[in-house]
């Protein structure tokens, strides 16, 4: 194994988004994870539940709800061909920019470069 180059301090760990998600899931679903690794293990064993929880946690606004959270691909040993949130529609830009504060220096990407607004 290689040499560990950096590790976050406890304050950074406790303020991380993954820790906030872990705490949210623990509170909301009466679960206890002793580490983020345990959360990962649970999330990979409960894929549909985990992604449904994330849509709630991140307040994803669907304009039409999904009919199925996940349609597995024909080859169960692969994720290629999986269909996520079948039937759902949402506005990607609305979610991507909803926390963006507009200031005089704000800009957004455009295919021809950057445009300011």
pLDDT in tens, 53-78: 999 999 999 999 889 888 887 777 77
Rounded-to-integer distance, Cα 107 and Cα 20, Å: 29
Confidence category of residue 117, pLDDT binned at 50, 70, 90: very low
Strand positions, DSSP E, 1-117: 68-71, 83-86, 107-110, 113-116
Rounded-to-integer distance, Cα 35 and Cα 42, Å: 11
The pTM assigned to this predicted structure is 0.70
Q: Phi/psi at 18 (nearest 5 deg)?
A: -65, -35
Rounded-to-integer distance, Cα 25 and Cα 42, Å: 11
Question: pLDDT of 23-56, one tens digit each?
Answer: 999 999 999 999 889 999 999 999 889 999 999 9
Rounded-to-integer distance, Cα 42 and Cα 49, Å: 10
């Amino acid at each position: 194994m290689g040499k560990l180059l950096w590790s976050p301090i406890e304050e950074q760990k406790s303020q991380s988004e993954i820790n906030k998600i872990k705490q949210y899931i623990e509170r909301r679903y009466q679960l206890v994870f002793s580490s983020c690794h345990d959360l990962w293990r649970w999330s990979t064993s409960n894929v549909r539940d985990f992604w449904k929880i994330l849509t709630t946690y991140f307040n994803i606004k669907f304009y039409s709800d999904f009919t199925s959270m996940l349609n597995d691909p024909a080859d169960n040993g692969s994720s290629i061909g999986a269909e996520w949130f079948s039937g759902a529609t949402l506005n990607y830009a609305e979610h991507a920019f909803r926390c963006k504060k507009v200031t005089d220096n704000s800009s957004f990407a455009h295919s021809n470069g950057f445009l300011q607004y």
